Amino acid sequence: MKHQIEARTPAGRRLAALAEEHAHDFAQRAAEHDREGSFPHENIEALKRNGFIGAPAPAELGGMGVLSVHDLMVAINRLGRGCASTAIAVNMHFDGLWAQTRNWQDARRRSESEAEAVAGRLRAVVQAKLVVCGSVTEAGTTIVAPLTEARRDPSRDGWIVNGRKIFGTLSPAADALGVSVRLIDGDAAPQLGMASIPKATPGLKVMDNWDALGMRGSGSHDVLFEDCFVDASLMQSMGPWGSWPPSLLATLGTGSACIAGAFLGIAESAREMTLESLRTRRKAPSGTLLAERPAIQHRVGELEIALETARGILSRACARADDFYADHFPSDTRSEQIHALMRELIAAKHVVTHEALRAVDTCLTLSGGAGYLSGHALSRLYRDVRAGPFMQPFSPIETFEYLGRTALGLDPDAHEGSLPKAKEG
Amino acid sequence: MKHQIEARTPAGRRLAALAEEHAHDFAQRAAEHDREGSFPHENIEALKRNGFIGAPAPAELGGMGVLSVHDLMVAINRLGRGCASTAIAVNMHFDGLWAQTRNWQDARRRSESEAEAVAGRLRAVVQAKLVVCGSVTEAGTTIVAPLTEARRDPSRDGWIVNGRKIFGTLSPAADALGVSVRLIDGDAAPQLGMASIPKATPGLKVMDNWDALGMRGSGSHDVLFEDCFVDASLMQSMGPWGSWPPSLLATLGTGSACIAGAFLGIAESAREMTLESLRTRRKAPSGTLLAERPAIQHRVGELEIALETARGILSRACARADDFYADHFPSDTRSEQIHALMRELIAAKHVVTHEALRAVDTCLTLSGGAGYLSGHALSRLYRDVRAGPFMQPFSPIETFEYLGRTALGLDPDAHEGSLPKAKEG
Amino acid sequence: MKHQIEARTPAGRRLAALAEEHAHDFAQRAAEHDREGSFPHENIEALKRNGFIGAPAPAELGGMGVLSVHDLMVAINRLGRGCASTAIAVNMHFDGLWAQTRNWQDARRRSESEAEAVAGRLRAVVQAKLVVCGSVTEAGTTIVAPLTEARRDPSRDGWIVNGRKIFGTLSPAADALGVSVRLIDGDAAPQLGMASIPKATPGLKVMDNWDALGMRGSGSHDVLFEDCFVDASLMQSMGPWGSWPPSLLATLGTGSACIAGAFLGIAESAREMTLESLRTRRKAPSGTLLAERPAIQHRVGELEIALETARGILSRACARADDFYADHFPSDTRSEQIHALMRELIAAKHVVTHEALRAVDTCLTLSGGAGYLSGHALSRLYRDVRAGPFMQPFSPIETFEYLGRTALGLDPDAHEGSLPKAKEG
Amino acid sequence: MKHQIEARTPAGRRLAALAEEHAHDFAQRAAEHDREGSFPHENIEALKRNGFIGAPAPAELGGMGVLSVHDLMVAINRLGRGCASTAIAVNMHFDGLWAQTRNWQDARRRSESEAEAVAGRLRAVVQAKLVVCGSVTEAGTTIVAPLTEARRDPSRDGWIVNGRKIFGTLSPAADALGVSVRLIDGDAAPQLGMASIPKATPGLKVMDNWDALGMRGSGSHDVLFEDCFVDASLMQSMGPWGSWPPSLLATLGTGSACIAGAFLGIAESAREMTLESLRTRRKAPSGTLLAERPAIQHRVGELEIALETARGILSRACARADDFYADHFPSDTRSEQIHALMRELIAAKHVVTHEALRAVDTCLTLSGGAGYLSGHALSRLYRDVRAGPFMQPFSPIETFEYLGRTALGLDPDAHEGSLPKAKEG
């Protein structure tokens, strides 16, 4: 596709090429999964077969070694052109794997033994082609103030988890879930915890209830936790409940730029089918090609500008993330450095998802009504693309708070909407 | 509803009050008709029972005597809050009835006998509570260049109609259809014809195939005409095929402003449910009401501005239409007068349908993801409201051509997209 | 001008006709006053000669009896087409006169004697053709929290005023100023006061320092008050310092809708000169008229939509204000009624000033560079029109706070930006 | 400045650092040149002293060897922060020098002797620190259909040039001008010619009449040519009059992306002064810092997004231009390759200049009225930044034509506005 964002590393180019092949295949079934609201298990299986699913893991540990945020985004972009539900589901898994790989890189700088501990976990995931998805969203609260509770169970050296998550994208195919919790340990102030919970854990139930406007194949079900026991080794404390741990913000913010690639992919697909149609359809009474009509050309110009805008901000932000991560590691990154980077990634996610919306809307306009019919792919893309702004970590409303406050040198956590009240602290 | 557009005439106020009652009832079943793609026959039946369906017919002839375009728009607006599919279907019927009533007023100024001829037809429709819908849209051409052909059949003093219409809103409940055709009469240049075809006519088939992104209860099926015989008395020649007869433009342009009321109604409903939610929901960790959050208030401000913008331009354009129609009648209206009026109505339809889109989109953002779920009414309103810009007579693309050309003193028909090529003329 | 907003009352139509004549005359000198930054005293003199300056005063008291907000806005709109600086200056004076007339109407409902007191003041202003301007803006605070102080001077039954106002539009021609102050009276909590201060008062100095991007003829100088004595009879206490008295909000909010008419007028002028140029200029190499170029037509379509949008919301809001004021008077109006009305007027001012900006910007684009030259009127209109959003009572930033909070049922005064801190209360 | 676009090559970084120093100096006098409409000769002299003016020339020939389009743009961006008039003037000169350097690179690939011919001219320009500016704009026509005529003068082996150019940015400091002409040579079809005309040529007159809304220090005077003799060696024929030579489009399109950097620079300056103010100013009655006000933060978020959007599309387009130019040279580049690249550069110029407009407008809003005063730098930046969309080669109107047509696979030259009529061909 002309003008598309190209991968920058050899490993990334290999991944992108694979993604294009898969996308072509996934596209065959995207409409059906949308209609039925079914999860594309066969797509995930296909991505397991050739190791795609392990892309962000180090080559040394059996992965494809695509550590470039930019190139992971490109791969998600290509998948998004074929089946956006699959693309955002895969991104869920990539997020966690990439973060683990970063931890491994970090550990290696300190000691072999520390590195080996992380490597062991990574190798296990990659070799068994395990699928892991984050599960951090709940109704009525923010990501860092989960109401799902993990209570210390001293008798078994672990925690008992109770609660309900929503938007559990990829959960149908997951082998384990990364779950944010409110840690309750005696009288201590509640902490934010992150648990890795195997899906087979008794009491964990994927509700099979995802039924939404779009992204209907993403399996974004509710996930219920009823007295799930989690071993202490699988629970990590991230700091005070209610404020962002920099590392978590970094992981989710980076992931949000990658996932924006999927929405760009939706828009690119919409553009391709729309232009193809305009170049071949004629309209009575003049009988001229639609493409020859100046008013059509004007809208196409708008469409091109939307796409170029999205590509520019997205590729720049991701390339700058790569530059940053090349010499900053989780253990030695200061909070303000994270925010400086996040500002660009969060802005990119915002702009890309909105330009993608605008582009698909323009395509619908250019379709002249045909795209409004359920049988036309544009009607699906129009529903899918609307999910973009809702993607974590920040809603459009939070995005402006975050960008505005950090630009002004204020603590982004301290605004009215996200801060626990003093008395609750 | 505070700030809503209020009817300006006593008859209009009666109609609006009725519409509000019906809307309340229709709202109960709107989600179900959406899900099933079923036509709300019971709604049309209810509107027949109390004479609502005859609103634009003169009181003297059994109607409710609501001739004010402004007040018909208000009634459609109120219906749109309850069930937008029903609202646009009803508008289809109102369009034709209003035009007939205008013809009757016009005829009365000339002679009793002429008036009585029109009155007879009107009385028949009103008393039998007949439902008539326009059927003027086809794929691959403009409204005034139909490819559906009516060939003169001299043997039976009539015409044989063949073709296929799309977007036949209200067709499931229609007793007759107003169908645009290309009149072929020997070697004469083709004319634009308007046929009134009873639904029971052999060869006419409503295809029951409407399946779209939104407005799923509107019954906008394809309508097929296979060798349908139409009596000469039911066929009207409107001038050269391929250019706008001023009277048809006036009817459809006026109707488009009324139908814009339905889209405003969708946005108003979305606003009500959204504000109700913001006023009552709290979010952890701060536990403050969503309404108290400044970033939320900002978006609500944007929402209010979108609605006020829509109300302003719509009520003004419709009131000015009423002023114009008070002393201009079809038979003595010059083309440039029609265009001067249409410019305001067409601009209003454009602005209102786009502000309504923007408003519902903002509500979805304010819902924080909840509105993206199929079970939430916003996800339906988001799909319904996208139909607005497609409403006839002009697509967004044609709207700019029309407004631009008429502002510059050019013939609006003469642009590249709509003109028959010279050689075809 | 086609599509323009027309006055609705006979008195309003007379005023609008006068305004059009004046505008034609004022237009001759607008560029010169802009270049020199000089105040158009001759314009104000001309408006005095025929009584225009007394338009909002009751006919019974020597005015023109134009009490319709809608029609005052129309008059300001017409003036704005000729000289926007004059238009906003005149509006300053109209604001206060209209409020006084409202007080007189109100008083008449209570008692003859009370009415006569107000009538006396009104008659004095109208007969002497006095010009009064508001002076309520200061740097670093809101309108209702003036830092200009009035300290009780018990020795002379009056007040000593010290402070500095900015944006004193019309001050060069004013005979008296309506000045908002912080009343300091012993230990009492500070009150918001409104003083009527004759310009000849010792210590009052109009600084003659207005030099701005646009509206350069508006005489919006700083006004300095150094130990100005104000007689107790000329000082009115309006309630607690720092919150909006409903009556002041009503006056300024209503005035802001009228002043929006001036900005619409700027845009209308820009449109006229732009279309005239497009209809007559040709461009090589094709030699076609610019008007014939589809890409030009598209932009003209956008221009038309901007203007129609502005006219719609503005005429509706003003007409609804007239309806409201017809049976609500200052002394019996509840605060929430004021807010319900203000919401529409404030939204209208916001939309109109921004659509006017957009329209003039589009004209500049359509001028193809010619309009960027200082000698071209568009370059002045582009600078003038940017003043719109700054017009009191609410900046764009405050507008969203106000609309959002009132929509959500919250106290509009209570947001972070405008509230005195609790400890100050 | 955080988040700014950084140069990518060592030579580019040196240039950017110099540009920052100069910008700091230029900023001291920018307001004065604006007020007086004077050309900043001292700035150009300063850029001559350290060789900055020869930046795009090869190091081998005495230049700074900054051939990266991206890095030239960065340098213009930095200059733009200090004095936008100087920045766009310098860009005028860079354009031509860069194109010459490209020709030299191209020639080197073919033969030493050919390269030496170009090198000689380049060396002459660089060593003498000559300033050359393009002069290709005229009223009433497009760039490629100049009405300025060059008639063959066989008697002197040269051409006689007559005509008038407008927007001659940098002309006061130019030693020579690159002038587009209509070549008239007997009966041959007119060709587009490009003449290099020394400023000292008899009959050439820089009119000293630049007086515009903004960019008042850019010296964009009219330039008059009255019977100017141009030696044949200084005239180049570029192909048919009225259509774009790919090489000229490439030069101007590339230059337009560089010049967009200046407008980004304006916006970045506006942002810095605005945020500084918000971080330090407090507003009564609450006394909170403006920065602490959520409604302010929201607007700042919008500002950040505008800037990030501009940076993303601009840096990407320029980096891709560098990639393209690395292995494509003027003599072996196909027209469709040029268009593929231009599409990105032209889109970038459009988006950047409009986002810069939006950003400065937002800063004005955030200034709360202070920025509207002539003494405030924002009022100048607001005027300067409006020049952006007018920058050649395409106006906003032509931009949509170009992007739309090329996206649809149509000849961008063939639209109604730019094509000579068939009969003229």
Write the pLDDT tens digit of every residue in D282-337: 999 989 999 999 999 999 999 999 999 999 999 999 999 999 999 999 998 999 99
Among A292, A293, A298, the strongest candidate for a mutation testing the C interface, having the largest count of C CBs within 10 A, is A298
C348 touches chain B (CB under 8 A): yes
- Calculate how close chain D gets to B298, using CA atoms only, in Å: 7
In the predicted structure, residue D29 carries a pLDDT above the cut 70: yes
Share of chain D above pLDDT 90, in %: 95
In the predicted structure, residue A416 carries a pLDDT above the cut 90: no
Residue A182: enclosing H or E segment and its boundaries?
A: strand A176-184
pLDDT, position B423? 34
Helices and strands in chain B, H and E counts:
10, 8
Mean pLDDT over D364-386 rounds to 98
Nearest to A286 among B295, B382, B418 (CB): B418
Looking at chain D, which residue has its C-alpha nearest residue C394? Answer: D368
pLDDT, position C68? 98
pLDDT tens digits along C94-150: 999 999 999 999 999 999 999 999 999 999 999 999 999 999 999 999 999 999 999
Q: Which domain does A283 fall in, by range?
A: 246-414
Share of chain A above pLDDT 90, in %: 95
Nearest to C31 by CA among C77, C91, C76, C84: C84
Which residue matches tokens 């699913």?
Answer: A53
D198 touches chain C (CB under 8 A): no
pLDDT tens digits along D64-104: 999 999 999 999 999 999 999 999 999 999 999 999 999 99
| Residues paired with residue D158 on neighbouring β-strands, in sequence order | D153, D231
Tokens at C328, concatenated: 């609500």
Q: Give the CA diameter of chain A.
A: 82
Nearest to A366 by CA among A276, A288, A300, A316: A300
Looking at chain B, which residue has its C-alpha nearest residue D292? Answer: B294
Q: What CATH number has the domain bearing residue B373?
A: 1.20.140.10
Q: What CATH number has the domain bearing residue A219?
A: 2.40.110.10
Give yes or no: residues C16 and C80 share one domain.
yes
Mean pLDDT over B49-71 rounds to 97
Span of C82-91, C172-181, D242-251, D355-364 with lowest mean pLDDT: D242-251
Q: Count of alpha carbons within 13 Å of C390, Cβ hemisphere only?
A: 30
Give yes or no: residues A401 and A275 share one domain.
yes
Length of chain C: 425
* B136 domain residue, yes or no: no
pLDDT tens digits along A113-130: 999 999 999 999 999 999
A368/A274 Cα distance (integer angstroms) = 10
A28: Cβ contacts below 8 Å, ≥ 6 apart:
none
Give yes or no: residues A335 and A384 share one domain.
yes
D351/C272 Cα distance (integer angstroms) = 28
Give yes or no: residues A401 and A285 share one domain.
yes
What is the residue type of B116? E
Mean pLDDT over D14-33 rounds to 98
In the predicted structure, residue B125 carries a pLDDT above the cut 60: yes
pLDDT, position A286? 87
Chain C, 22 to 81: residues with Cβ < 8 Å from chain D are: none
Q: What CATH number has the domain bearing residue B15?
A: 1.10.540.10
C37/C33 Cα distance (integer angstroms) = 5
Give the CA distances from residue B331 to residues B327, D23, D24, D58, in Å, rounded to whole numbers and listed in that order: 12, 70, 72, 77
What is the residue type of D266? I
pLDDT, position C415? 56
C368: Cβ contacts below 8 Å, ≥ 6 apart:
D390, D395, D397
* D144 domain residue, yes or no: no
B102 touches chain A (CB under 8 A): no
pLDDT tens digits along B199-254: 999 999 999 999 999 999 999 999 999 999 999 999 999 999 998 999 999 999 99
Q: Do A213 and B382 touch (CB under 8 A)?
A: yes
**Which chains have 3+ CB pairs within 8 A of C?**
A, B, D
* B144 domain residue, yes or no: no
Nearest to B298 among C314, C317, C400 (CB): C400
* C264 domain residue, yes or no: yes
Tokens at D309, concatenated: 């959007």
What pairing do the DSSP bridges indicate for beta strands A176-184 and A149-153? parallel
Q: Kindly indicate the confidence band of residue C16, based on its pLDDT and cuts at 50, 70 and 90.
A: very high
A303 touches chain D (CB under 8 A): yes
In the predicted structure, residue D392 carries a pLDDT above the cut 80: yes
Give yes or no: residues D307 and D210 share one domain.
no
In the predicted structure, residue A133 carries a pLDDT above the cut 50: yes
Q: Do C372 and D214 touch (CB under 8 A)?
A: yes
Give yes or no: residues A265 and A385 share one domain.
yes
In the predicted structure, residue D10 carries a pLDDT above the cut 80: yes
Three-class DSSP category at D86: helix
- Calculate how close chain C gets to D33, using CA atoms only, in Å: 16
Give yes or no: residues B257 and B398 share one domain.
yes
Determine how many CB atoms are found less than 10 A away from the CB of residue B316: 23
What single string gives the DSSP state of each residue in C197-213?
Answer: EETTSTTEEE-----BS
Cβ contacts of C295 on chain A, cutoff 8 Å: 294, 298
* B93 domain residue, yes or no: yes
Length of chain D: 425
Mean pLDDT over C314-319 rounds to 98
* B1 domain residue, yes or no: no
Chain C, 271 to 300: residues with Cβ < 8 Å from chain A are: 294-295, 298
Q: Do C242 and D382 touch (CB under 8 A)?
A: no
Mean pLDDT over B87-107 rounds to 97
Per the CB < 8 A criterion, the answer to whether D343 and D365 are in contact is no
In the predicted structure, residue B424 carries a pLDDT above the cut 50: no
Nearest to A244 by CA among A385, A136, A162: A136
Give yes or no: residues C267 and C401 share one domain.
yes
Give yes or no: residues A168 and A122 share one domain.
no
D194/D265 Cα distance (integer angstroms) = 31
Determine how many CB atoms are found less than 10 A away from the CB of residue A198: 16
Residue D260: enclosing H or E segment and its boundaries?
A: helix D246-280
Give yes or no: residues B127 and B197 share one domain.
no
Chain A, 122 to 181: residues with Cβ < 8 Å from chain B are: 137, 139-142, 144-145, 147, 166-167
Mean pLDDT over A318-337 rounds to 95
Cβ contacts of B294 on chain D, cutoff 8 Å: 294-295, 298
Span of B178-182, B412-416, D239-243 with lowest mean pLDDT: B412-416
Chain A, 376 to 415: residues with Cβ < 8 Å from chain D are: 399-405, 407-410, 415
Of C97, C131, C165, the last residue of a domain is: C131
Give yes or no: residues D209 and D252 share one domain.
no
C400/D297 Cα distance (integer angstroms) = 13
Q: Kindly indicate the confidence band of residue D420, based on its pLDDT and cuts at 50, 70 and 90.
A: very low
Mean pLDDT over D140-157 rounds to 96
- Total domains, chain B: 3
pLDDT, position C343? 98
Cβ contacts of D301 on chain B, cutoff 8 Å: none
Q: Do A309 and D351 touch (CB under 8 A)?
A: yes
Q: Kindly indicate the confidence band of residue B413, based on its pLDDT and cuts at 50, 70 and 90.
A: confident
pLDDT, position C358? 98
Of A77, A97, A131, the last residue of a domain is: A131
Give yes or no: residues A274 and A394 share one domain.
yes
Mean pLDDT over C343-348 rounds to 98
pLDDT, position C414? 67
ipTM of model over 0.90: yes
| Residues paired with residue B225 on neighbouring β-strands, in sequence order | B163, B204
B135/B175 Cα distance (integer angstroms) = 13
Tokens at D304, concatenated: 């950040």
Sign of the dihedral defined by the CA atoms of residues C69, C75, C77, C79, in that order: negative
pLDDT, position D415? 56
Mean pLDDT over C235-254 rounds to 95
pLDDT tens digits along A211-260: 999 999 999 999 999 999 999 999 999 999 998 999 999 999 999 999 99
Per the CB < 8 A criterion, the answer to whether C409 and D279 are in contact is no
Cβ contacts of C407 on chain B, cutoff 8 Å: 275, 300-301, 303-304
Q: Do D408 and A297 touch (CB under 8 A)?
A: yes
Of C203, C219, C240, the last residue of a domain is: C240
Cβ contacts of B343 on chain C, cutoff 8 Å: 3, 304, 308
